[in-house]
Amino acid sequence: MSTNDTQPDDAEEISREEADEIIDEIERRRSLQGLAALAVAVIGICFSLFQLALAARSFTFTIPLPTVDLGLFAVRPIQISLQLLQANAVHVGFALVLTFLMFPATMGDGPFSRRLAGAVDAAVNRLGGSNPLSRALDGVLRAVRWAFVDPDRSRVTPFDVACMIVSLLAVVYFLTEFREIRDIRAFGLESGRPITGVYSVLEPLLGGVPFVSEYSYAMLLGVLGVLLVLEATRRTLGLPLMIIVASFIVYARWGYLISGNTPFVGLLAIPQFTWPDIIQNLWYNTENGVFGIPVTVSVSFIYIFILFGSFLEMSGAGQWFIDLAYAATGHRKGGPAKSSILASGFMGTISGSSIANTVTTGAFTIPLMKKSGYSPEFSGAVESSASSGGQILPPVMGAAAFLMVQYTATPFREIIILATIPAVVFFFGVWVMVHLKAVQQGIGGVDADTVSLGTHLKRGWFYLVPIVLLLYYLIGARLSVSRSAWFTLVALVALIAFIAAYSEQTRAFLLASTAAIFGVELASYIVAGVPITGLLAGAGGAGVPLGDALAVIGPRIGWYAMLGSVATMIVHADVQSAVLDLNPTVQTAAESAGERTGRDLGDNQLFRVGTFVVKSMEEGARTAVPVVIAVAAAGIIPGVISVSGLGPNLTSLLLELSGGSIVVMLLVTAVASIILGMGMPTTVTYIILISMLATPLVEFGIPLLAAHLYILYFGVMADITPPVAVAAYAASGVAKSDPFETGVKAFSLSLNKAIVPFAFVLAPGIVLLREKANADELPLREQYRVVNFADLAELSYSVPEILIPVVGVFLGVVALGATVIGTLYADVPKPERAVFALSSLLLMAPRLLSESVFDVLGLAGVSVSVNALLLDLTLRGVGLVLFVALTVRNRRKASVEPAGPSGDPTTA
């Protein structure tokens, strides 16, 4: 099914360019042209190539230059071996340079710019335009604007260039002076050489300057590096996060001034640190600070998955998934909204960004929802609510999931397992609400004919192969996250190349060339034990048996398919695939390159596939930049907490403030997550809050993984929580609706996302966690494990601990939908909505209610001791009785009363 197959003629679908403009406006990105745009593309591609080399070969890899001997000197392949700190520094260095290219420092609308312009106007009005002071102020204003201001988000300023140069100098220092850095980490920053010692040519110019000789070059670069990270944070993520991170740095320096004798606040007192101590920990450390655990996770896991998503999107999978959703649900009641939910879930596999997911999918789904009868605000709310769930939906999830792997020392396959049920519950809950809204307003499916699901699957089944392969590598083969992503990415590129080269005319040549390449490689191993390239270079020795040769080259079948496909597209340059429909961005880039070179390259299939690969790497880098800056900046906060010894004191403070109430602790965590997450990436919110709140939650007996997932859910919730609600704001731009009202509706549609976390931290069976048999002998962090098949077969455990809570959660979101929408089979009066709300709470999180009652009784001095599991099951039973009774009553009401705007009886 194509877009035109379902799009009504007069629907106000926005163009891709308009969607990109909305994203750029929200994220304040530049729209660069010419040399600057080329620089972004080249640096972005180099960034992706660097990360691909790390994924393929770890920290030791070879740059494949041709071997050339020119007599006086020789050019040979370069072998690079990096330390972790060096790899992290290069990773952040790429992100910093791209940030200063892609994001303006200021557009001239800040308080400083306005005051300076006001001073110039005041001077001209009072003294006249020809007055020397007026002219001097005007010159200062012009110089400031030239150096810093980019009003149209279209030019790179001198300040940007200076920032990029310093970023490069910092990376070069890490790469060329690592021996000195090792000494610095042992003996302190004061032991490093001054800048004149590193660059002797500067001795005549700076040798006599006291400040230069007093501080080491490493100290200077560390200070500038931290400042650059703060500036990049301000540009990409906003001033509030920069202030939060900077406040922790200030706290690390002067937190010792807090008196330990002060009630409550005294727990925040820390030892005294000097600036060299702080800079060394923040800039030259892989355990804490800028290059700490978050950036290590970004280097190892996050970037390669972002790149995988970019390749999948550029291959045309995004539009195919949207069309798949409409083929599956478009004809149903409320079909456009249900399709939006499915499409957003599919896109969540590709994009971990709520904003990008909302705008990309919403550009197609929101106009259809509006056309079918949903209000603009509700349409935008559905899209933003579903899109925000992409970060919690396996198998890819968002960047925070990979951080969870590192912080909890849990394999990613187990993260997928425990995150699946809550994610399905969330999307099911939104589905229920849009269905009930369709029942309430009598909204049907898409008017136009839709292609059948079977036909659509036949046309693009290959887009599902990478997802299946990824799951196999992660869960079946139990490979590491980075290796799984690398193998899947290679398979994806090979698959797209093969599909691009395949047609009725080229089928025989394609299969023959692939088989020939495979056969030649196999023969080379059997004869000489080396690949054909090694044999041609004169290497080789004893051959290997057929079975061993197949074991070596079998996993490389993707590369051979790639080579066969390239050979086919070279021989048959005019081949056109009957099923492959690459992202329009790829076709536009290919045609643009053809126009610049004066050749018609847009129809050349090999050039289009090459453009697909290059464009995917560029877009992957663009997407990754804010994420890398976010983890680099956020890493400073746990770094300060760890180095200062604040962690245990902060835990004690929070436990004391909660008064021993798990309900209070959970509510504090939820509110803090939502407030801190407003306008900030989920990744940053997660890093900050797990540093401060994860340990207190575990102290209450909550499983470690459930505590981390709880924080992640409420960090995602912030994207659609007013007054900021960045995802809802993006949706309102597409829907042309009121932003605040769109945010309110999105929040109400996502209420189950706020209740489900309470459900699974209080009933860990929902996320398939079970207490270990020897839990009393283990530390709190290690007392739970992911269930296995033997646990599921143990019915005395699995039925009360897993099955009943999971069924209760699914029924609870139905009750919640009736509460929020006010309709089930018929309209639900307000008193019954209140009872539905109670039944929803009892079905989903009964312990939340019981613990609150026990806390109130405890304040009155009454102590209660009950069987927790029996009480939990009893309360769920009460909730079920209420739910069934209300549902039957509402069904009977619908059978005798007309409902919906058409006056016809409606059925759910």
State what percent of residues in the chain have pLDDT above 90: 32
Q: Encoding tokens for residue 287? A: 């355990």
Question: pLDDT-based confidence at 64, cuts 50/70/90?
Answer: low
- What is the average per-residue pLDDT within 224-235? 95
Name residues whose C-beta falls within 8 Å of residue 424's C-beta, 6 or more positions apart in sequence: none
Question: pLDDT-based confidence at 191, cuts 50/70/90?
Answer: confident
Say what the pLDDT of residue 905 is.
42
Amino acid type, 404: M
Separation CA 644–CA 691 (nearest Å): 13
Helix intervals (H) in 679-750: 682-699, 704-717, 726-735, 739-749
Segment among 210-214, 385-389, 548-552 with least mean pLDDT: 210-214
Question: pLDDT-based confidence at 709, cuts 50/70/90?
Answer: very high
pLDDT > 60? residue 415: yes
Write out pLDDT tens, residues 443-499: 877 665 567 788 888 888 899 899 889 888 888 888 888 888 899 999 999 999 999
Question: pLDDT-based confidence at 908, cuts 50/70/90?
Answer: very low
pLDDT > 70? residue 65: no
State what percent of residues in the chain have pLDDT above 70: 93
Write out pLDDT tens, residues 121-139: 888 888 777 788 888 888 8
Say what the pLDDT of residue 151 is.
87
Angle between helices 303-314 and 335-350 (to 10 degrees): 130
Answer with the residue of higher pLDDT: 89 or 73: 89
Backbone angles phi, psi at 289, to 5 degrees: 80, -160
Say what the pLDDT of residue 62 is.
66
pLDDT > 80? residue 437: yes
Amino acid type, 721: T
Segment among 63-77, 156-170, 221-235, 415-429 with least mean pLDDT: 63-77
Question: Which residue's entry shows tokens 């109130």?
Answer: 856
The 3-state DSSP class for residue 168 equals helix
Answer with the residue of higher pLDDT: 269 or 353: 269
Separation CA 838–CA 850 (nearest Å): 13
Q: Encoding tokens for residue 197? A: 């010692």
Segment among 162-166, 288-292, 351-355, 548-552 with least mean pLDDT: 351-355
**Highest mean predicted confidence (pLDDT) among 91-105, 140-154, 695-709:** 91-105
Q: Are 163 and 228 within 8 A, CB to CB?
A: yes
pLDDT > 60? residue 505: yes
Helix intervals (H) in 315-353: 317-329, 335-350
- What is the average per-residue pLDDT within 30-53? 92
pLDDT > 70? residue 29: yes
Task: Say how many CA atoms lie within 13 Å of 51 toward its Cβ.
Answer: 37
Q: Encoding tokens for residue 459? A: 């046309």
Backbone angles phi, psi at 785, to 5 degrees: -140, 165
Residue-averaged pLDDT of the chain:
85
Q: Encoding tokens for residue 453? A: 């699901």
Say what the pLDDT of residue 3 is.
39
pLDDT > 70? residue 314: yes
Write out pLDDT tens, residues 710-754: 988 888 887 788 877 788 888 888 888 888 899 889 889 888 888
- Cβ count within 10 A of residue 900: 17
Burial of 844 (0-12, 13-18, 19+ CB in 10 A): buried
pLDDT > 50? residue 1: no
Q: Are 409 and 704 within 8 A, CB to CB?
A: no
Question: pLDDT-based confidence at 360, cuts 50/70/90?
Answer: confident
Separation CA 805–CA 533 (nearest Å): 59
- What is the average per-residue pLDDT within 821-837? 92
pLDDT > 90? residue 7: no
DSSP letter assigned to residue 298: I
DSSP letter assigned to residue 860: T
- What is the average per-residue pLDDT within 503-508? 90
Separation CA 646–CA 633 (nearest Å): 19
DSSP 768-828: TEEE-TTGGGS-GGGSEEE--HHHHH-HHHHIIIIIHHHHHHHHHHHHHHHHHHSBSSSB-
Task: Output the CA torsion 616→617→619→620 (10° steps).
Answer: 110
Say what the pLDDT of residue 703 is.
93
- What is the average per-residue pLDDT within 373-394? 87
Amino acid type, 349: T
Nearest CA-CA partner of 160 in 171, 149, 152, 174: 149
